[in-house]
Structure 1
């Protein structure tokens, strides 16, 4: 392991952090101008066998995959085969049965999560085979077991489900940002249809191999062929312990959403493409213009936080541009980032879900930047609101993806409960809240025309209030 920055205090902090959050194994890597400035494995890829984590240990990366999907779209645009401004029904005519709005949705809307789709159950049904085979699914952070819908194994089945599902659009295309796995599932179909290749093959041939990502793949069979692969773990629902849960989940019809497997070394090779104007390892992957489109802040989803194409953008991160994306799936909590102007990149990969891996990586980035470990680029002014006024925000908010969020008053304070974890909220603006440690992102409550709370924006998703 290479370690070229004196960060002993961070190592001690990281060990305690990992112990506190019950993370079996993690790898952190940071590079500046292509040189490794920090790299360390913590814990084990297999606890029972005491196997160490290395920079070449294969982990799931979950939704970090989304930027690879967008890079695939940009590659097709460079070849003149698509434009991000094309209407999606030009490539997915089956969706026309879902109403007139779908005909106004462009590829750009899918890439920026602004198509107007609410969270649908598509992704739940796409991985239903895995869920049904896995006893640990009961402890996952979403309710995935009470879904009577169909297995979605193919693109045709996914398109038919989305075309005929009974849902209400959140708004017009471009009106609202709502993080949408469904949209990225559709992008995978477009890539396959336009390229004439399976989505996975196109990404491998046009992004992974040219970037020198030798240990990155979608093929589940390779998990058994490679030696340095992590075991997956699940945290018990009550948070008391972690146990081995070796079954990897798959969603063959929606791999574009979050099913790439990779390593710290490979992700840092990939991130070079963003701070080096499309070149990684001396090979041009995308044009300078395509990279500029991907890291452009197309839509602001929270104050000071934007979304590009498959990447989150902070235009003013201590005076520089930060691009990033995280991922969460069974046995996966991951995060990658790059500070574009400083030609710096970082990644953390872990082998358990529902842990704040991104916070640990950004603390490591702070140390290598010479800042305090927990330095934040944003500050918030807290507003005092009495309990009577807070009452309007309480209620149950439920999505078809399996998310169940309860907002209640406890001892006069607004509290949010999700996945049996309670967090106290503080108000930072009209209908805007953040939890007390300022680590979980901003929550926004949206009103209907009568001034009543209609939905919550939680985890970037619009989740409707349950009508009692």
Structure 2
């Protein structure tokens, strides 16, 4: 799983956090520039600098154990553990042996394995992957086939999935066949291959299956032999659960409960292990980083040929040539003007970030066993680049009147391309949208002190007026906006949100419906005697509306308080009894709604009550219909699991 999918905060909240960090980036970069760059070759100074940052980060972000490795020019400049691997036993983090689960950073091993087979002529990046697959076949949804190039750039077109099957905490369910898992949980192809990025764990796992079936070796064995053994990575594995010989070195994962760290069971990827199962020590990750920075070589062993490595680390898909792109497996970023290729990973307990600067032969690996490790890693990277490669002062290019006149067309609601369309997973993206407004011919995101303002600096390109951060848009032949990319989230494009997907649209309709349902309850309580004296069918019509109002309000409350706020581990590891029981509620609501429609027809034909009361009754019916359509649209009507 990638670092964005496994956070316990919404993607929208993450964007605000990153945008706030962006303000600091511009300021601190300017300050560092004025002071001049520090000497990275001074390892004593480097260690003292990182020590200070990590001490503050562990306190601020409540991290029990973390590790940092920095390499440069083929050498380990720093490899240090902070905190504890096991709090109960007092075991300290050891950068040589402590095994951190690196989640989606595992994909770099999978992509490297793919490139080894490309180098050997066994895989062609632009050939239909069905050519290589033996046990699983992708459907021909579009005229273009899915290729390995699409898998490695996350442009295959898969929808997102995972509810109930992405991970497990039960080691008794292991080992699991990759092919059987991928056949059972195949997501739909929802956009033509090559059209746009949409990060996919399934696509990475499929690449791992191809490695397995093309090489003739089980995935675990291939990675162990051709990467770990080759690079002398003795404390590294993709096996689940970790082997008995390595188990003593496994980091424990912790959650924060009632002000204390509490040990939690590890999660397992099972059949999705090529996308996230690795557990690796910091020094072993240094070997891997060095190989990627030194023409594919480590300790005299060649992992990839230099030309293969250059191909892997070159832009393979670009949203816009002016913005960070996607390499073959690596996600590009810009840090103080440097091109950085990276990959992060997070599960419910661990967070990892890996950054490589090929032009400077620098690599940084940071992994944490709890707390907000993602904020710690990004903060460390920013501080590192501000100190050793300070940014130039931000200069906003002059804005032309020609660019300013079209600013309004970019305003609106946007949602991530990485989302579900077909299953219950769709509902969990209900709140993952951002809004872009226009103020004085500038685009704005957020409000108040957190508002970020972007000025147009080129066709479809905007820059933050206070930093170097940029956002870009794609438009079609008619000039209509089709996609958005923020350079702080280079692997997560967005697209305009259709009306029926907009959370604000539904909140308005649901709000009106709630008011109508409450009016029914108040009216029933106030007119109890009048209702009791009504003829039989009129009385039953009122009782039905009351029952429907109660049930609709209860269902809506359960939807947001129970379903949307499900524990992330529960959501991705199993179908809980609570969720199964909840899914009866929308179905019952639909039944009540259909019955109410019939009574509404009877009320008008039979001239029940006054005309005003019949209108009110009809509005209540419409409110129930709206709510039923809400559950239908968001795949909450029935048991729609992937």
TM-score by length of 1: 0.76
CA 1:82–1:11 in structure 2 vs 1: closer, same or farther (change >3 Å)? Answer: same
- 2:251 is aligned, of 220, 230, 250, to 230
> 1:73 matched to which residue of 2?
114
Contact 2:100 2:250 in 1 (8 A): yes
In the TM superposition, residue 444 of structure 1 has moved relative to its aligned partner by 6.1
Corresponding residue for residue 61 of structure 1: 102
The residue that corresponds to 1:183 in the other structure is 203
**Offset at 1:435?**
9.1
Q: CA deviation at 1:415?
A: 2.9
1:292 paired residue among 300, 310, 314: 310
Q: C-alpha offsets along residues 382-429 of structure 1, whole Å, 9 cap, x if unaligned?
A: 99x9xx96995347768236444143699x97439xxxxx96443354
- 1:39 corresponds in structure 2 to 79
Answer whether contact 2:237 2:278 (CA < 8 A) is retained. Answer: yes
CA contact (8 A) 1:334 1:357 kept: no
Distance in 2 (alpha carbons) for counterparts of 1:336 and 1:182: 21
Secondary structure in structure 2 of the residue aligned to 1:6: helix
User: Residue 259 in 1 paired to residue 277 in 2?
Assistant: yes
SS in 1 for 2:454: strand
Structure 2 CA distance for aligned equivalents of residues 34 and 178 of structure 1: 34
Match of 1:4 among 37, 43, 47: 43
CA distance in 2, matches of 1:228, 1:73: 29
Give the structure 2 partner of residue 461 of structure 1.
Answer: 492
Distance verdict in 2 for CA 1:447–1:189, change over 3 Å: same
Higher share in strand: 1
In the alignment, the residues of structure 1 paired with residue 450 and residue 171 of structure 2 have an alpha-carbon distance, to the nearest angstrom, of 31
The corresponding residue for 1:51 is 91
Cα separation, partners in 2 of 1:20 and 1:449, compared to 1, 3 Å: farther
In the alignment, is residue 200 of structure 1 matched against residue 220 of structure 2?
yes
1:112 partnered with 2:153: yes
Post-superposition offset of 1:339: 2.5
**Contact 2:182 2:202 (C-alpha < 8 Å) held by counterparts:** no
Unaligned ranges ≥5, structure 1: 134-151, 417-421
What is the distance in 2 between the residues matched to 1:379 and 1:48? 52
For residues 391 and 70 of structure 1, do their structure 2 counterparts lie closer, same or farther at Cα, with a shift above 3 Å needed? closer
Asked if 1:405 corresponds to 2:432, the answer is yes
Give the structure with higher Rg (CA): 2
Q: How does 1:140-151 map to 2 (within 5 A)?
A: none
8 Å contact kept, 1:232–1:352: yes
Describe how 1:308-347 pairs up with structure 2 within 5 A.
308-313=327-332, 321-347=339-365
Segment of structure 1 superposing worse, 59-68 or 37-46: 37-46
CA distance in 2, matches of 1:27, 1:13: 12
Partner in structure 2 of residue 130 of structure 1? 169
Residue 204 to residue 95, structure 1, CA distance change in 2 (3 Å): same
1:46, distance to aligned residue in structure 2 (A): 2.8
RMSD of aligned C-alpha atoms? 4.1
Q: CA deviation at 1:265?
A: 0.1
Question: Counterpart in 2 of 1:393?
Answer: 412
| Structure-2 residue corresponding to 1:22 | 62
Contact 2:336-2:385 within 8 A present in 1 as well: no
- Contact 1:126-1:252 at 8 Å conserved across structures: no
Higher helix fraction: Structure 1 or Structure 2?
2
| Greater Cα shift, 21-30 or 425-434 | 425-434
Tell me: CA distance 1:435–1:197, structure 2 relative to 1, closer, same or farther (3 Å). Answer: farther
Structure 1 distance, partners of 2:117, 2:475, is 40
Cα deviation for residue 158 of structure 1 reads 1.5
In structure 2, relative to structure 1, the CA distance for the partners of 1:313 and 1:446 (3 Å cut) is closer
Question: Cα distance, 1:297 vs. partner?
Answer: 1.6
Tell me what 1:147 maps to.
none
Write the distance in 1 (CA, Å) between the matches of 2:282 and 2:45. Answer: 20
Within 2, Cα distance between the matches of 1:106 and 1:259? 24
Q: Which runs of 5+ in 2 are unaligned?
A: 1-41, 506-642
**Paired residues of 1:232 and 1:245 also in contact (CA < 8 A):** yes
Distance 1:184 1:433, change over 3 A: farther
Distance 1:270 1:127 in 2: 27
Q: Residues 84 and 107 of structure 1 are in contact (CA less than 8 Å); yes or no, is this contact kept in structure 2?
A: yes
Q: Which residue of 265, 268, 271 corresponds with 1:247?
A: 265
Deviation of the 1:348 alpha carbon = 0.9
Distance in 2, Cα, partners of 1:22 & 1:45:
14
Q: TM-score, normalising length from structure 2?
A: 0.57
2-structure distance, mates of 1:452, 1:194: 43
Shift of 1:124: 4.3
